[in-house]
Amino acid sequence: MKTVVVLIGVAAALTLQATLSGMMIGRMLAVNLVLVAIVYAALAFGAVTGAIAGTVGGLAQDALAGGIVGIGGLSETLIGFVVGLLGAQFIMSGVVARFLMFAVATFVHAAVFEGLSALADGRAFAVRWSAVAVQAAVNATIGVMVFWVIERGPDMLARRRARRATFSKRRF
Amino acid sequence: MTALRRPGVLFGALMIAQVLLVSAQVQSKSGVRVLELVTFEMFSRVERATAAVVHGVEGVWSNYAALRGARDENQRLREELNSLQVQLQEQRSLAARSEKLASLLDLKTSAAVPTLSANVIAGNPNPGVRTITIDRGTSDGVVADMGVIAPAGLVGRVIGPVARHAARVQLIVDRNAAAGAITERARAGGMVLGSDDTPPLKMDLVPNLSDVKDGDRVLSSGVDGIYPKGFMIGTIEKVEHRGGLYLSIAVHPAVDFGSLEEVLVVMVPPRPAQHDEDIK
């Protein structure tokens, strides 16, 4: 069941990413929502779910982008699995730890993706680290916010409902 | 199945499968067409639906905003129309004169390029690659390697596989894109390549001795067999003499990719690229 939920999340991230980049054609979009979804899945559900999410998300991104299918898949499977393992070994419930995990995952993805692309195309390895740093910061911020909304959102809604119910019972 | 539940085995299997997938494509250069086509075909339907919703919301908002400034804009447009009508008269007289001259010199006039309009329905979900998805596909006669243009100039080319009602377009500013080019003033030939830098185009293979200046217009030369000849690519922003055989030229694209909503597909099937000997 959780795998199905994660795959739906990855598909939603993919659709949102395509829509956003459609609005910002020609410019580098400083966010990778699919990667955010994969890292979230790995931290929340573990290495296996992270690896599956990475494979599906990465292959779908590759297939839609045109070019060699599997490079993004390899990179994101690796990230999903390693982040899942690290999440199981260390305490990752703090904001800083999660922020760092999303940011480091973005850097690793950029390096692995570009490295494999350069290898396959027979060209020099070239990454604009400044652009990757911006993307890492944006991805990490969104990732931490997603965690916050999913973990605290239901509690806050329940509390608000309870407060409303108390007010409505009171007689003034 | 039990073995696959063990994380290490599953991870290893996924990685090996993808390494084999990549190796197969690198060796054959053909790509996994079926997987790509099926994914693209399915996802393009979702993209069409999403684009329809987004355009709908945008339409409602812009209609509301348009109503507010309609009077001022109307006045401004009337003034612009008057000035354009004067310009049109001048251009007509010039065109008539050049037609007369062309007939005197017995020059053949080039036929207009057949085009098909298409809407941009999505961008690329992979931030490292600059492609867009349009709402025209094989059912409209679109095939891979057809050129795509906009009123301002060259946009890119269709890349395969093409779905029935959607196609992917590699933008000219993508780092793997290239087009045969020529400068309008000095007729210096070269190749325009996409890059991750600012501006996102550079012109390569222009000999060091060529008379190329900042502000020169760069047009498509047509030698690549994809893009029609004479379409605007951009304007030269910076020329550097780096001591090699060729100049280093930065080109600012003519098309504003940020506001690209509609494009025109050049409905001419691609032909083999011309070699230097053919051009001469």
Task: Assess whether the previous peptide bond of B161 is cis (omega < 30° from 0).
Answer: yes
What mean pLDDT do residues B194-221 have? Answer: 89
Task: Kindly report, residue by residue over B174-197, the tens digit of the pLDDT.
Answer: 888 999 999 988 889 999 998 877
Determine the Cα–Cα distance for residues A74 and B236; give it in Å rounded to an integer: 39
Could you identify the residue written with the tokens 């109307």? B74
pLDDT at B271 over 70: yes
Say which range, A14-18, A39-43, B37-41, B173-177, has the weakest mean pLDDT.
B37-41
Residue ranges of domains in chain B? 2-31, 178-254
At residue B100 the predicted structure's pLDDT band, cuts being 50, 70 and 90, is low
Note the CATH number of domain B178-254: 2.40.10.350
ipTM above 0.85, yes or no: no
B168 in contact with A at a CB cutoff of 8 Å?
A: yes
pLDDT at A155 over 90: no
At residue B279 the predicted structure's pLDDT band, cuts being 50, 70 and 90, is very low
pLDDT at A79 over 90: yes
8 A C-beta contact, residue A21 and residue A33: no
At residue A39 the predicted structure's pLDDT band, cuts being 50, 70 and 90, is very high
Q: How many residues does chain A have?
A: 172
pLDDT at B106 over 80: no
pLDDT at A76 over 90: yes
Determine the Cα–Cα distance for residues B95 and A163; give it in Å rounded to an integer: 77
B243 in contact with A at a CB cutoff of 8 Å?
A: no
- Amino acid, single-letter form, for residue B259: S
pLDDT at B40 over 60: yes
pLDDT at A142 over 90: yes
pLDDT at A166 over 80: no
Q: How many residues does chain B have?
A: 280
Chain B CB contacts of A31 under 8 Å are 127
Mean pLDDT of chain B: 82
pTM (2 decimals)?
Answer: 0.71
pLDDT at B28 over 60: no
pLDDT at B280 over 50: no
Note the CATH number of domain A2-169: 1.10.1760
Mean pLDDT of chain A: 87
Residue ranges of domains in chain A? 2-169
Distance from CA of A155 to the nearest CA of B (A): 31
Determine the Cα–Cα distance for residues A124 and B198; give it in Å rounded to an integer: 19
User: For residues B189 and B259, which has the higher predicted lDDT (pLDDT)?
Assistant: B189
What mean pLDDT do residues B111-140 have? Answer: 82
Interface of B with A in 78-137 (CB under 8 A): 120-133
Q: Residue A15, Cβ neighbours under 10 Å: how many?
A: 18
Interface of A with B in 127-156 (CB under 8 A): 128, 131, 135
At residue B50 the predicted structure's pLDDT band, cuts being 50, 70 and 90, is confident
The count of C-alpha atoms lying within 13 angstroms of the C-alpha of B78, restricted to the half-sphere facing its C-beta, is 6
Helix/strand/coil (H/E/C) assignment for every residue in A105-136: HHHHHHHHHHHHHHHHHCCCCCCCHHHHHHHH
Determine the Cα–Cα distance for residues A147 and A142; give it in Å rounded to an integer: 9
In 3-state terms, what secondary structure has residue B237? strand
